[in-house]
Structure 1
């Protein structure tokens, strides 16, 4: 009986990432960040919210790419909770690199590319790189 349980894989791993809880999880983490103290200058919370919206809205990003990109936005939001911590800076650098790779692999995703090209430099300033 134990041998059978080792080989059994069950459950569902599919589903719509964008319409599911993962988008909500990203939003929840972003919403935990403080809002910008300057009305005319977006802070990390506003920048990540814009990036998330651009990823979700781009029709040229397939669900897998959206999932990967949103996971990196989540990593950036996690890191932004404590942006001066060396471990969090490394987490942000990794997320930034991953978003860059996704951008390069999906050049037809113009909304995503435009937002990344404009927002990633502003986001990475928060982490001092």
Structure 2
């Protein structure tokens, strides 16, 4: 006598599914993770001088707003901002400094692909040195 087993699969997926992929704005997911990591940092104790939290928040906003970045570059850049935020929790730790250096180098590489006269490139040229100063390099 044969025993037949049936498998039932139920549930739903939000958004259209194409070739096994749920379509949607993945940068909002990445951006949410970045925001969470940044929000775990303390705010600047000096109101007229932005701290690492404020600098990373500005960088995140500029990356999200820049129309010259491809979606892949935007996601990669936001991941690097997240890495900087995670490293900023313990900036004197050698491993965290290394993580911050890698994120800084990756952001610099991504910015090389951005057209020269964009607000994001100008912003990063001014902001990244302030962020790396926080880590002591």
TM over 0.5: yes
| Structure 2 residues not aligned, in runs of 5+ | 1-18
Alignment partners' CA distance in 1, 2:92 and 2:117: 32
- Structure with the greater relative contact order (CA < 8 A, sep ≥ 6): 1 or 2? 1
RMSD: 1.5
Determine if contact 1:48/1:77 at 8 Å carries over to the other structure: yes
In the TM superposition, 1:37-76 aligns within 5 A as: 37-76=45-84
Give the alignment partner of residue 16 of structure 1, picking from 22, 25, 44. Answer: 25
Answer yes or no: is the 8 Å Cα contact 1:83–1:89 preserved in 2: yes
Pairing 1:1-129 to 2, within 5 Å after superposition: 11-12=20-21, 15-18=24-27, 20-108=28-116, 110-129=118-137
Give the whole-Å Cα distance in 2 for the aligned partners of 1:78 and 1:109: 30
Tell whether the 8 Å contact from 1:65 to 1:102 is kept in structure 2 after alignment. Answer: yes
- Output the TM-score relative to the length of structure 2: 0.81
In terms of Rg, which structure is larger?
Answer: 2
TM-score, normalised relative to structure 1: 0.86
Greater helix share, 1 or 2? Answer: 1
Q: Deviations over 1:30-57 (max 9, x none)?
A: 0000000000000000000000000000
Deviation at 1:15, TM superposition (A): 3.4
